[in-house]
Amino acid sequence: MIWNQHIECMSREAMRSLQAQRLRETVNRIHTHVPFYRQQLQQAGIRPEDIKTVDDLQHLPFTTKLDLRDNYPFGLFAAPQQDVVRLHASSGTTGKSTVVGYTHNDILMWSEVVARSLAMADVNRNDIIQVAYGYGLFTGGLGLHYGAEKIGASVIPISVGNTKKQLQLMQDFGSTILTCTPSYASFLGEAIREAGIERTRLRLRAGIFGAEPWTAEMRKEIEELLAIQAFDIYGLSEVIGPGVSMECPMQNGLHVFEDHFIPEIIDPDTCEVLPYGELGELVFTSVTKEALPLIRYRTRDLTRLHADVCECGRTLVRMEKCVGRSDDMLIIRGVNVFPSQVESVLMEMNETKPHYLLIVDREHNLDTLEIQVEVEDQFFSDEVGELEALQQRIHQNIQSMLGISARIKLVEPRTIERSAGKAQRVIDNRKL
């Protein structure tokens, strides 16, 4: 189902013109209300009236997480405190958290984009949606909550954790939709299996997962474990929260709600804008936000954009699943390594579970990589030879995928610490 046919299927021309009009309004807004941006524009020699079309975006300066931190907590707000009805803070995946604010209109817009997202998974008034994202400063819980209510689904605001209760309510209330991080979804799937809950006692049909990178292989695993269709939802607090983009049933990329958030892809080193189809860093300009409009915000997420019309009928630009972040990319012995690549290798092997930890260290000036992987219980009762053979196979597969050699440590199920929120996949002990 398409929630907002008019916007989601708009011609590219009409979209560009809507974006241009909103961009002009936003540039005026920040110039008038945010001293930081006024100064930035002045330094770049740009007057608000110089920005006429979307092509003029490239003349505007970038905004980074550091700018938000330097102006902590409310320095970049473009609305007076009396008009701010909600505050959230980013989860601080990479350090100190950043504060974001919303006016009443911002909350309405957010609910709209989340409603559009949920409609892509065909969520409707007949659904019962279990929101197992954290409620609180994190945008996941309340973001999904408001969008689901707008659609008219019945919301279970259970928040994250308390797995026993999650499973109980899932059965008792007959949840049809689960939304949480993919790592928690896989954890819940395992818990269902371990508790011996018959799949027929569950009514789950779809899952909406995001807030951290996950691979196609992990999707398959979750879909099998929970017997559902799994959708990817993307977002970040600085831009709005969940609902910046979402996968449609074609599952060939995430449609960006570009009437509110204009995406660009840049080369993270040169900051040059890259054409559609090229891999680079995703940058967003929010063009309808009142409390915290951000100009060319550098997400650090790496992906590609595609502008061809999707088979679902939507004309909105699609972004590929994120392959990682330019700043969580590990450089090990000069080789760029993304945790998601390791995950792909592990998930392709039947014997391993989707729980792993990368430990990077430095011994005698040489980087070392240890990968701890959980394997099926049976391997520990089998002959030692089998365990060694598996270790060897993983080692070889990692070597051919990443081009570096890693120490593989096989561990028993449940050894690696579980997180109900974003999974921690890397411990980097090098003091770089």
Q: Which residues bind ligand DLL (CB under 6 A)?
A: 90-91, 93, 133, 139-140, 210-213, 232-237, 241-242, 299, 301, 322, 325
Q: Which is nearer to ligand DLL, 160 or 394 (CB)?
A: 160
Q: Are 156 and 130 in contact (CB under 8 A)?
A: yes
Q: Which is nearer to ligand DLL, 93 or 368 (CB)?
A: 93
Q: Which is nearer to ligand DLL, 3 or 379 (CB)?
A: 3
Q: Which is nearer to ligand DLL, 3 or 214 (CB)?
A: 214
In the complex, minimum distance from the CB of residue 230 to ligand DLL, in angstroms, rounded to a whole number: 11
In the complex, minimum distance from the CB of residue 320 to ligand DLL, in angstroms, rounded to a whole number: 10
In the complex, minimum distance from the CB of residue 219 to ligand DLL, in angstroms, rounded to a whole number: 11
In the complex, minimum distance from the CB of residue 322 to ligand DLL, in angstroms, rounded to a whole number: 4
In the complex, minimum distance from the CB of residue 141 to ligand DLL, in angstroms, rounded to a whole number: 8
Q: Which is nearer to ligand DLL, 147 or 189 (CB)?
A: 147
In the complex, minimum distance from the CB of residue 238 to ligand DLL, in angstroms, rounded to a whole number: 7
Q: Are 63 and 98 in contact (CB under 8 A)?
A: no
In the complex, minimum distance from the CB of residue 72 to ligand DLL, in angstroms, rounded to a whole number: 15
Q: Which is nearer to ligand DLL, 242 or 293 (CB)?
A: 242
- Whether the bond into 73 is cis, omega within 30 of 0: yes
Beginning with the edge strand found earlier in the chain, give each strand of the sheet holding 318-319 in spatial order: 154-156, 128-131, 177-180, 206-210, 229-236, 241-247, 254-256, 318-319, 305-306
d(CA 237, CA 102): 11
Q: Are 300 and 64 in contact (CB under 8 A)?
A: no
Within 8 A by CB and 6+ apart from 38, the residues are 30, 31, 32
DSSP states of 156-184: E---S--HHHHHHHIIIII--EEEE-HHH
Q: Are 162 and 130 in contact (CB under 8 A)?
A: no
In the complex, minimum distance from the CB of residue 110 to ligand DLL, in angstroms, rounded to a whole number: 11
Q: Counting runs of H as helices and runs of E as strands, what totals does the chain give?
A: 12, 21
In the complex, minimum distance from the CB of residue 338 to ligand DLL, in angstroms, rounded to a whole number: 11
In the complex, minimum distance from the CB of residue 118 to ligand DLL, in angstroms, rounded to a whole number: 12
Q: Which is nearer to ligand DLL, 20 or 114 (CB)?
A: 114
Q: Which is nearer to ligand DLL, 51 or 233 (CB)?
A: 233
d(CA 65, CA 301): 13
DSSP states of 307-328: -SPPTTS--S-EEPPP-EETTT
d(CA 333, CA 369): 9
d(CA 90, CA 236): 8
Q: Are 235 and 252 in contact (CB under 8 A)?
A: no
Q: Which is nearer to ligand DLL, 233 or 373 (CB)?
A: 233
Q: Which is nearer to ligand DLL, 109 or 236 (CB)?
A: 236
Instruction: Say how many CA atoms lie within 13 Å of 113 toward its Cβ.
Output: 29
DSSP states of 333-375: TTEEE-HHHHHHHHHHSTTEEEEEEEEEEEETTEEEEEEEEEE
Residue showing the smallest CB distance to ligand DLL in the complex: 210
